[in-house]
Homo-oligomer: A and B are copies of this chain.
Amino acid sequence: MEPLTGRKAEIVAAARDLLEAGGPEALTMRAIADRLGIQAPSLYKHFPDKDALEAALVAAGFVEQAETFAAVTRSRNPLPALARAYRAWATAHPHLYVLMTSRRLDRDSLPEGVEAAAAAPLLKACGGDPNRARAAWAFAHGMASLELANRFPPDADLDAAWRAGVDALQAPPTTPRST
């Protein structure tokens, strides 16, 4: 998939506005069409169905996320900075974040290489160990997703929990006992 242009891009932009402003139930074919001064069925001249439109929305989100993360890689000791950036992005775009992470990934709808690009900063921060990088990714996604879903008790200190996880995951393993 190459980047979107023209009407397709306008549609995705309208969809994104609606999603971020009103959550998933505001993301309606008719609402998207309305916002473009168009009738809902006309959208099907550009996307085969709502799922494909959402996939494009998700792909755009991934690109943006990858750029954001690449920007913080520069710092020495990048893991805490990456964690902060991850959490910040998720809470800045909660509905888009949920959409991006809850749909089963369709790799064909993603621009070539975005997946690797988004993963690269974290992989480098983890010394090239993909297992550690995946664990760190899972931790960050888990924290963000549980926070967005209101899963932590109201008195939880989320900053402290993030710190605890980041500290644990960046330290080299000292006494592995899990076999």
Which residues of A line the B interface, CB within 8 A? 77, 79-80, 83, 98, 101-105, 115, 129-132, 134-135, 137-143, 145-146, 149-153, 156-158, 160-179
Residues on the B chain within 8 Å of A138, using CB: 139, 142-143, 146, 161, 165
- Residue in B closest to A156 when the chains form the complex, CB atoms: B134
Assembly stoichiometry (copies): 2
Q: Are A165 and B102 in contact, with the CB atoms below 8 A?
A: no
Q: Are B174 and A174 in contact, with the CB atoms below 8 A?
A: yes
User: Given A138-B143, A142-B142, A171-B175, does the pair A104, B149 have CB atoms closer than 8 Å?
Assistant: yes
Residues on the B chain within 8 Å of A140, using CB: 142
Tell me, in angstroms, the Cα distance from A156 to B77 when the chains sit together. 25
Interchain residue pairs A-B with the least CB separation, the first 6 = A142-B142, A138-B142, A135-B165, A134-B161, A131-B164, A80-B178
Smallest CB separation, A128 vs chain B (Å): 13
Residues on the B chain within 8 Å of A177, using CB: 77, 80, 167, 170
Smallest CB separation, A74 vs chain B (Å): 17
Smallest CB separation, A120 vs chain B (Å): 13
